[in-house]
Amino acid sequence: MKFIHTADWHLGKMVHGLHMTEDQSYILQQFLNIVKQEKPDAVIVAGDLYDRAIPPKEAVDLLDNIFTSISKKFEIPLIAISGNHDSPNRLRFGSSLFRKHQLHLTTHLEEAFTPIRIGTSETAHIYTIPYTEPFEARQYFEDDTITTHQQAMERIINEITNKMDYSAINILVSHAFIRGGTETDSEEQLTMVGNTPSIDSRLFQPFDYIALGHLHRSQYVDDEKIRYSGSILKYSFSEAKDTKSVTVVDVSKAEKKIKQIPLQPKRDLKWISGYFDEIITGSILPPTEDYIGIELLDDGQLIDPVSKLRTIYPNLLHLEKRTMKNDNRTTEQESIRKKREMSHEELFAAFYNDIKGQAISTERKKIIQEVTERLMHEEREID
């Protein structure tokens, strides 16, 4: 079976206050050309189709255009799941009708256990697990012991593999944070507040390929078959040196071939560092309409450097001075990393201890857990 794996489109996203819809439309037209040329048996989109639960109209129209082209015009099966940025209920709208045109949208956990069958020379079974919070798995399985993403995924995988046909090509699609994956700054908003979705890659060994979304850097984790396709565009300056791509996979029970096809953005995202006098001459980077971030090495005050720099870099998005990057920033980043390993309840308990100077009581911990789960229900619109 040959399929294209992509993820993390984040349609409707803004980068440093700039709407990215035009750039996303440009790159997705390029993606359609790749689909047309490769003629895959299926296209897989592993979550975060939108950047927020209520996307702007332009983002909805763009997704509709791309999905219609693939499933109706090209007549290629399209399999997509909701990510943690998507609204499961909104994305689910019309899904029963869409299946008639080979467009399969999985947004709720109960849909994860029935494989989507793609007929090729070998039968392929595609299992789709949308982004799932521990409380959702806890409610679905009626199991109060499920409190972490690891425990939730263990239970989900066990449910699938107990009934899986091992003679078929088994592909898993998931939107999750696999331990050992490399993050970028554009995921900080996904994992900044506790309960990081950290999952052991060994859970996925029974599958022939694991198509992942959530991390924006194209990579595999521990095994080449456990792979993030990465985002379609650079959404932070930490990705400036990355090459964005889509992953083409040709897999059978005997072997798998994996290749990456680079995506060429309309405007690249670049980061440069130097003294103002060097940069303004264009000696470090020639004038360009690419999106630019600049670190200035000058010690003294500069008069209106942004306006002057925009004469050669009209799409200058960010400017900072090196003096701002000191040991305090390193300490802050280490603190952020530690907080990512904490649950919502642990974060609140730490905050409570800082403010009150004493540990939070067991009774109040229970209240915080109930309030947190209710808020997450409302945010994700899970019935």
pLDDT of residue 351: 73
pLDDT of residue 119: 77
Q: In 10 A of CB 307, how many CB atoms?
A: 9
Torsion 289-28-216-59 (CA) sign: positive
Separation CA 362–CA 359 (nearest Å):
9
The CATH architecture to which 2-262 belongs is 4-Layer Sandwich (3.60)
Which residues in 107-137 are b (16+ Cβ under 10 Å) and which e? Answer: bbbebbeebbebeeeeebbbbbbbbbbbbbb
For the stretch 172-189, pLDDT in tens is 999 999 999 998 887 754
For the stretch 31-58, pLDDT in tens is 999 999 999 999 999 999 999 999 999 9
pLDDT of residue 190: 40
Instruction: Give domain limits for the chain.
Output: 2-262, 269-321, 334-381
Q: In 10 A of CB 251, how many CB atoms?
A: 21
Separation CA 216–CA 230 (nearest Å):
4
Which of 317, 263, 260 is closest to 290 using CA atoms?
A: 317
Could you say which residues of the chain have pLDDT below 50? 189-194, 327, 329, 332
pLDDT of residue 37: 97
pTM comes to: 0.85
Cα pseudo-dihedral 138, 50, 176, 350, rounded to 10: -70
